[in-house]
């Protein structure tokens, strides 16, 4: 398989965005956009003018396509009015970022439901607990672990 075919084969591996995976989804999105050499369209505040405008519009269109392909139909209302990939990312961060109330509730729910039983690997359990704790700290949610 030549390198170009291999590159195309690796596209589309971005997971669907959920209320539980926004930080990791964003990381994967940025890496995908960087790999596609289109990340500039997501970080610039202004559209370039002149010769760079057409290239920027193509990059922005590709970035928007990658973002939309990782969303469920019910999530499209967040970004339907966005003209740039950067606007899309900002809107999704408002809705799904670790500081959003929806994310805080989902994280706390997952923490309350976290149980270790004989069927579950303790290493995975501890890893998930630490991940939840880290995300809760980013949300600035105060909670304490009390041992009875």
List of long-range contacts for 63-71, beta carbons under 8 Å, 24+ apart: 63/33, 63/36, 63/38, 63/39, 64/88, 66/14, 66/29, 66/32, 66/33, 66/36, 67/29, 67/92, 69/12, 69/14, 70/14, 70/15, 70/16, 70/17, 70/25, 70/29, 71/16, 71/17
Q: If you average pLDDT over every residue of the chain, what do you get?
A: 78
| 144 has a pLDDT exceeding 90 | no
CA distances from 113 to 76, 120, 139 (A): 29, 14, 19
Confidence of residue 88 (pLDDT cuts 50, 70, 90): very high
Average pLDDT over residues 10-35: 81
CB 89 within 8 A of CB 42: yes
Range in 71-80, 87-96, 102-111 with the lowest mean pLDDT:
102-111
pLDDT the model gives residue 44: 66
Q: What is the pTM of this model?
A: 0.62
| 134 has a pLDDT exceeding 80 | no
Q: Quick one: how many helices (H) and strands (E) in the chain? A: 7, 0
> Minimal CA–CA distance to 38: which of 4, 70, 63, 20?
63
| 76 has a pLDDT exceeding 80 | yes
Confidence of residue 8 (pLDDT cuts 50, 70, 90): very low
pLDDT the model gives residue 7: 44
Average pLDDT over residues 37-54: 72
Average pLDDT over residues 106-120: 77
* 110 burial type by CB count under 10 A (0-12 exposed, 13-18 middle, 19+ buried): middle
Confidence of residue 3 (pLDDT cuts 50, 70, 90): very low
């Amino acid at each position: 398989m030549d390198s170009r075919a291999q590159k195309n084969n690796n596209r589309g591996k971005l997971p669907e965005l959920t209320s539980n995976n926004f930080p990791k989804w964003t990381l994967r999105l940025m890496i995908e956009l960087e790999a596609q050499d289109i990340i500039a369209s997501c970080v610039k505040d202004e559209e370039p003018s002149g010769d760079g405008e057409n290239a920027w519009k193509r990059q922005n269109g590709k970035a928007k396509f990658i973002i939309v392909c990782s969303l469920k139909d019910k999530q499209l209302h967040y970004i339907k009015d966005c003209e740039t990939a950067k606007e899309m990312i900002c809107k999704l961060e408002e809705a799904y970022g670790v500081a959003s109330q929806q994310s805080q509730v989902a994280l706390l729910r997952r923490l309350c439901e976290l149980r270790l039983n004989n069927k579950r690997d303790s290493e995975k359990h501890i890893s998930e607990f630490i991940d939840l704790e880290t995300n809760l700290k980013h949300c600035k949610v105060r909670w304490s672990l009390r041992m009875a």
